[in-house]
Amino acid sequence: DTEVTQTPKHLVMGMTNKKSLKCEQHMGHRAMYWYKQKAKKPPELMFVYSYEKLSINESVPSRFSPECPNSSLLNLHLHALQPEDSALYLCASSQESTLSGNTIYFGEGSWLTVV
């Protein structure tokens, strides 16, 4: 069962709000990812966690704050976002982040609208 579940599916937030996106996988994967996808574009990598430690931050603004409470969970905390941050946020996981050939499995995504 290759399943990554994300909540909420849709989120509308104001620019002064604080909200969180949540992601869960039960495949025993040790690498988890956040991607951002704008309309008609490929996903862009934001963060990578490997064995619950942040291993990559692709120069993402600090208004996005990732958290990995345990090996199955990944959160993305949102604060003081801008309208241009509206996008589909995809969580993904893979067995380990440093092995070649690992398949990255994506969730259904959280559609974020900042108003």
Partner 1 sequence: GNSVTQMEGPVTLSEEAFLTINCTYTATGYPSLFWYVQYPGEGLQLLLKATKADDKGSNKGFEATYRKETTSFHLEKGSVQVSDSAVYFCALSDRGGNNRLAFGKGNQVVVIP
Binding site for partner 1 (CB under 8 A): 2, 6, 31, 40-43, 45, 48, 50, 55-56, 88, 90, 94, 96-109
CB atoms near residue 6 (< 10 Å): 21
CB of 26 to partner 1, least distance (A): 17
CB of 81 to partner 1, least distance (A): 21
Nearer to partner 1, 82 or 98 (CB): 98
Nearer to partner 1, 103 or 113 (CB): 103
Cα dihedral sign, 101-29-56-76: positive
Paired strand residues for 106: 92
Nearer to partner 1, 16 or 40 (CB): 40
Angle at 34 between CA 29 and CA 38, to 5 degrees: 140
Q: Which of 87, 83, 104, 84 is CA-nearest to residue 30? A: 104
Q: Which of 42, 41, 23 is CA-nearest to residue 33? A: 23
CB of 96 to partner 1, least distance (A): 8
CB of 42 to partner 1, least distance (A): 4
